[in-house]
Structure 1
């Protein structure tokens, strides 16, 4: 026979107690039935005394009802001893993910934090920003602002220095909105918020940094298969206890990283360059030399020469000119920026070159224009190798 749901048991038990309490109230307030009529000259003090006695008995019944409800509900309340008081300050139906203290000392998790810290410091070296602790150095939005501006090439309209909590949260709001706009097309699972970052929630901070590192193809090797234990706290409405909601906690394991190829190449299928860079880096120079020879064979017609693939193709100019040479047409100068200065102008050039490739019958490049502009070697190699395989016999 199926077991009744806990909520039904709870409701029935409370109803039984309420019914019993109401019966007690009825019995306690019923006239005693003593013979004789009350004397007409009963003092006012006697009347007041009787009223007070009845109110006292009603209050006792009410207290009994409340005690009965609490006796049933209290065992359902689960307060995790590992939670701090601030961790339980939630709105109704809100949820918070907190790092389990046991995972804070996990060596793999510490290694992941160190890699992320080193990456941030490398990116922001020109700004003379040094991060030592993710929780203490990133919560106010200052470092996150600089990091996103460096990665995206976009300047955010925020105050440079903010000391007040309101100002810090406003800056975080602007930064996170910009980050979410970038990640939205990829349906990224957003695991951060203004409040979680500002409250120094390490889980949220690490998830945000991982998303940025993967999206912008950071030149780092993330530790593989890093998992942490987290406590998921949720506050939900209790129908029988209107004063406050019930906290529900659950201990779960959260995977932060998988394999390097899944994380760093996950947006596209594996190809020859994945194998080349992962397993045969010694042959990389041979491939680069072959590609340099190929592009110079055509660019030399314009008295241009390439020596560094990732840097000299980053602004998109050589890509556009190369496509014109390979397809034997002149590209009007008003279609692209011959001397691009901003990140947006460079992205425009690379995107335009990709369009020319598709017009020539090539498949859409796997690389993102932003990756080429950001000097990502693997992305640049993919684009050039695609041209090489299709035009290697062109004169």
Structure 2
């Protein structure tokens, strides 16, 4: 039997030390570079298919994921994040978050890196709703972070009414995996719902690569996923009215209007020993609005119909919505504002509602 070939690196090799060794080295470096490039491209392609890049993607780790026949998976096209509109949107949202959390000394620089563990999202939601979430302040483990995220996102879904309108475009897994598309969807919904004093770039979309398994092949196509639409600074389409003009161009006249409305509401609320001094805040929980409706129409509102001392955001929204129902019952047009606008201390919406009452009841003793 032939003896095995020696494995020593010092095998005797005959070569030209002056020329052959030099070009061998150059050739080896070139081959290694090409091999490395190929490996990087292969790895990038595998990650693009396997990584959780869509807010609607199944919640499972990439290594456990396998496409079934006709199943689809989508990932964001990397260069899509460099588009000017997308960059503007991320910048506006970062500035908004930092403004909201300024008194807590929280500074967000990168949405993916700073929001994925739920800490900043928790503080943001608490500030927006004025409610404390029952979650640990600091969580180091991945499991703990996901548990906190689950509570935070469940609260956000409830406040936003997602369960009533369909599935959210974000999940615990997508946010924790730093999915920028899911994060943007969540922040845009929060900014619109809470009437953030910002103007979101309109018609922002990102390119998504959709991969589908068909037979033994992976077929891909590129689609655009919409993040914002039009009029996102208001959240809804609406025409400008006199209050828009007052706020923008006649702040001195706005003060006159506010003073007239304060006099009007106190004329009636004083009958039950209540007084309003600040229109910006005294109607945000709906209690004064309900009582005012009863005084204007001469009926008693049973206490079991509303929360006389609302303890959270939902109870305040319930109160304002109930006041709106009373207005419709007596023949007033449905308010253009949403109950959430009043609860969120949107002064313009509050003034619109009170002015409608003033127009109808200004001559009542």
The verdict on a shared fold, with TM-score over 0.5 as the criterion, is yes
Q: Which residue of the partner structure matches residue 352 of structure 1?
A: 322
How do 1:235-250 residues align onto structure 2 when only pairs under 5 Å count? 236-239=212-215, 241=216, 246=218, 248-250=220-222
For structure 2, list consecutive stretches of 5 or more residues without a partner in the other structure. Answer: 1-40, 51-64
Q: Which residue of the partner structure matches residue 120 of structure 1?
A: 97
**Shift of the alpha carbon at 1:248?**
1.6
State how far apart, in whole Å, the 2-side matches of 1:288 and 1:355 are. 24
**Shift of the alpha carbon at 1:137?**
0.3
**Shift of the alpha carbon at 1:214?**
0.8
Distance 1:343 1:276, change over 3 A: same
SS of equivalent residue, structure 2 residue 161: helix
- 1:257–1:263 contact (8 Å) kept in structure 2: no
Q: Which residue of the partner structure matches residue 141 of structure 1?
A: 118
How do 1:56-95 residues align onto structure 2 when only pairs under 5 Å count? 85-89=46-50, 91-92=66-67, 93-95=71-73
Q: Which residue of the partner structure matches residue 212 of structure 1?
A: 190
Q: Which residue of the partner structure matches residue 175 of structure 2?
A: 197
Question: Is 2:362 the counterpart of 1:389?
Answer: no
State how far apart, in whole Å, the 1-side matches of 2:254 and 2:163 are. 32
* C-alpha RMSD of the superposition: 3.3
Q: Which moved more, 1:202-211 or 1:150-159?
A: 150-159
Alpha-carbon deviations, 1:318-364, whole Å to 9, x = none? 21221122112344556544444443443343233333323333244
Q: Which moved more, 1:296-305 or 1:380-389?
A: 296-305
- 2:133–2:152 contact (8 Å) kept in structure 1: yes
Question: Is 2:276 the counterpart of 1:276?
Answer: no
Distance 1:87 1:149, change over 3 A: farther
Distance 1:190 1:352, change over 3 A: closer
SS of equivalent residue, structure 2 residue 208: strand
**Shift of the alpha carbon at 1:274?**
6.9
- 1:153–1:343 contact (8 Å) kept in structure 2: yes
Question: Is 2:233 the counterpart of 1:257?
Answer: no
For structure 1, list consecutive stretches of 5 or more residues without a partner in the other structure. Answer: 1-79
**Shift of the alpha carbon at 1:113?**
1.8
TM-score (norm 1): 0.66
Please say which structure displays the higher CA radius of gyration. 1
State how far apart, in whole Å, the 2-side matches of 1:81 and 1:184 are. 39
Q: Which residue of the partner structure matches residue 323 of structure 1?
A: 293
Please point out which of 319, 341, 344 is paired with 1:374.
344
State how far apart, in whole Å, the 2-side matches of 1:174 and 1:183 are. 15
**Shift of the alpha carbon at 1:100?**
3.4
- 1:99–1:203 contact (8 Å) kept in structure 2: no
Q: Which residue of the partner structure matches residue 17 of structure 2?
A: none
